[in-house]
C-alpha cells in the first residue's frame, strides 16, 4: 500500500473513531477500574454485565468529562449485558448501527473505550472468526458468533466494535469467551435491551436442580430406552421449583429428557435453550433401581439466578 493510501486510510479510521466516540462513555460501577459503555438509546447506556459490581452509586463519564448519575435498570448474565438509565444525556449522541451479518472474516475493525480520565481510547484489529447463532456458557442466545483478533484492554469491555464507516456493529466483552475478545451483535443487544427495559431481567425456563454426571450401573442400563450409560444425579432440589413440584427428589438419576439421553449438563442447557416457560417435558428418572416417567412444567428462572 502506498504512503498516500495509508495516510488516507488512517484519516478514515480517525474519522470513524470520532464519529462513534461521541456515544462512548466510561462506566463507574466497580472498584478502581471503570469499564466502557455505549449510549445505545436516548438516556440508556449499554455496558458489560460482568463489569457492574454494584447496583448503587453508579455514574458514567461522558465525552468532555461530564459526570452523569446512572441507575441500573437490568442485567443479563447470559449475554453479559447490563443497561443503565441516565439522569441526563446532554452531550451524548446515539451512534449509527450496522447489521453484523454484513461483517466478513478479516474485516478491519476498531474497539473503542473511554478511560478513567474521560479520554477516548482505541484498539485496532480484524474479525478473527465468524459463526452462526450460539449459546453462551451462561445460557444466553447470541445471534452470531463474532470473534476478534485485537487487544481488548482492561476497561474496554462494554465498549463498541466499530467498522471503518464509524458504525457500531455490537458490544465487546471479555466476559463470554473465557477471556477471549468477542462481540455481541446489535440484533442481540436490541432484543436484550427491549426485555430488560420491560422486565428488568431476561425470562428463561429452568428446572430448579443441581446435578452431576454419574455412570449408570450395567444391571440397570437395559431399563433405559436410549441405552444411555450415564445420567445426572440430583444433588439439590430447589424448594417449590419446577422439579420439586413434579416430584423429583434428592438422589434421583435423570437418564432421559424428552426421550433423549441426559448425558451431561450440556444436554440440559440445549433442551432449555429451545424450550419456553410453561412447557411440559418428560424426564426418565432412575429411583431405587426403578425407571419412572415424570413430567416437569418448566418455570421462569428467578431473576437473580
Note whether 216 and 142 are same-domain residues. Answer: no
**Residue 182's domain is classified under what CATH number?**
2.40.10.120
Note whether 256 and 195 are same-domain residues. Answer: no
Note whether 147 and 27 are same-domain residues. Answer: yes
Contact 13, 149 (CB under 8 A): no
Contact 123, 24 (CB under 8 A): no
CB atoms within 10 A of CB 88: 12
CA distance 95 to 63: 13
Of the candidates 86, 15, 25, 22, the one whose C-alpha atom is nearest the C-alpha of residue 51 is 25
254-287: pLDDT as tens digits:
999 988 888 787 778 778 877 889 999 999 999 9
Note whether 179 and 98 are same-domain residues. Answer: yes
In a domain, 150, yes or no: yes
Check residue 305 and give its pLDDT.
Answer: 46
Q: Name the domain boundary from 161, 177, 199.
A: 199
**Residue 231's domain is classified under what CATH number?**
2.30.42.10
CB atoms within 10 A of CB 214: 13
Q: Name the domain boundary from 176, 199, 222.
A: 199
CA distance 20 to 37: 12
Contact 36, 113 (CB under 8 A): yes
CA distance 82 to 76: 6
Q: Name the domain boundary from 153, 177, 199.
A: 199
Residues noted as catalytic: 50, 80, 157
In terms of residues, how long is the chain? Answer: 305
Note whether 140 and 85 are same-domain residues. Answer: yes
In a domain, 67, yes or no: yes
pLDDT < 50 regions, the chain: 305
Q: What are the DSSP calls for 222-287, one per residue?
A: TT-TT--SEEEEEEEE-TTSHHHHHT--TT-EEEEETTEE--SHHHHHHHHHH--TT-EEEEEEEE
Note whether 218 and 161 are same-domain residues. Answer: no
In a domain, 103, yes or no: yes
156-196: pLDDT as tens digits:
999 999 999 999 999 999 999 877 899 999 999 999 999 99
Note whether 23 and 163 are same-domain residues. Answer: yes
Note whether 66 and 212 are same-domain residues. Answer: no
Structural domain total, the chain: 2
Identify the domain containing residue 84 by its residue range. 3-199
Residue with cell 427428589: 249
In a domain, 131, yes or no: yes
In a domain, 305, yes or no: no
CA distance 27 to 115: 9
Note whether 83 and 212 are same-domain residues. Answer: no
The runs of H, that is alpha helices, within the chain are 3-21, 186-199, 218-221, 242-246, 265-274
In a domain, 9, yes or no: yes
In a domain, 189, yes or no: yes
In a domain, 144, yes or no: yes
Note whether 155 and 226 are same-domain residues. Answer: no
Note whether 129 and 266 are same-domain residues. Answer: no
Check residue 129 and give its pLDDT.
Answer: 97
Note whether 182 and 284 are same-domain residues. Answer: no
Instruction: Work out the end-to-end distance of the chain between its first and last CA atoms, rounded to an integer number of angstroms.
Output: 52
Amino acid at each position: 500500500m502506498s504512503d498516500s493510501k495509508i495516510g488516507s486510510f488512517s484519516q478514515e479510521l480517525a474519522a470513524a473513531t470520532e464519529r462513534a466516540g461521541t456515544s462512548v462513555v466510561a462506566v463507574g460501577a466497580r472498584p478502581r477500574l471503570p469499564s466502557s459503555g455505549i449510549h445505545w438509546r436516548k438516556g440508556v447506556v449499554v455496558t458489560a454485565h460482568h463489569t457492574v459490581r454494584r447496583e448503587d452509586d453508579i455514574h458514567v463519564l461522558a465525552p468532555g468529562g461530564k459526570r452523569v448519575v446512572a441507575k441500573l435498570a437490568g442485567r443479563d448474565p447470559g449475554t453479559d449485558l447490563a443497561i443503565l438509565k441516565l439522569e441526563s444525556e446532554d452531550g451524548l449522541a446515539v451512534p449509527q448501527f450496522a447489521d453484523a451479518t454484513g461483517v466478513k472474516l478479516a474485516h478491519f475493525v476498531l474497539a473503542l473505550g473511554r478511560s478513567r480520565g474521560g479520554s477516548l481510547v482505541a484498539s485496532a484489529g480484524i474479525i478473527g472468526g465468524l459463526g452462526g447463532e450460539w449459546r453462551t456458557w451462561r445460557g444466553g442466545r447470541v445471534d452470531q458468533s463474532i470473534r476478534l483478533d485485537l487487544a481488548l484492554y482492561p476497561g474496554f469491555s462494554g465498549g463498541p466494535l466499530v467498522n471503518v464507516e464509524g458504525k457500531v456493529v455490537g458490544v465487546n466483552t471479555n466476559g463470554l469467551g473465557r477471556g477471549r475478545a468477542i462481540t455481541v451483535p446489535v440484533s442481540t443487544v436490541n432484543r436484550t435491551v427491549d426485555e430488560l427495559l420491560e422486565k428488568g431481567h431476561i425470562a428463561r425456563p429452568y428446572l430448579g436442580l443441581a446435578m452431576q454426571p454419574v455412570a449408570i450401573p450395567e444391571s440397570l442400563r437395559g431399563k433405559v430406552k436410549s441405552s444411555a450409560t450415564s445420567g445426572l444425579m440430583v444433588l439439590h432440589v430447589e424448594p417449590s421449583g419446577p422439579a420439586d413440584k413434579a416430584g423429583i427428589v434428592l438422589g434421583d438419576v435423570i437418564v432421559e429428557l424428552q426421550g433423549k439421553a441426559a448425558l451431561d449438563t450440556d444436554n440440559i442447557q440445549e433442551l432449555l435453550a429451545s424450550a419456553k416457560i410453561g412447557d411440559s417435558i418428560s424426564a426418565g428418572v432412575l429411583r431405587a433401581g426403578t425407571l419412572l416417567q415424570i413430567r416437569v412444567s418448566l418455570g421462569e428462572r428467578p431473576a437473580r439466578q
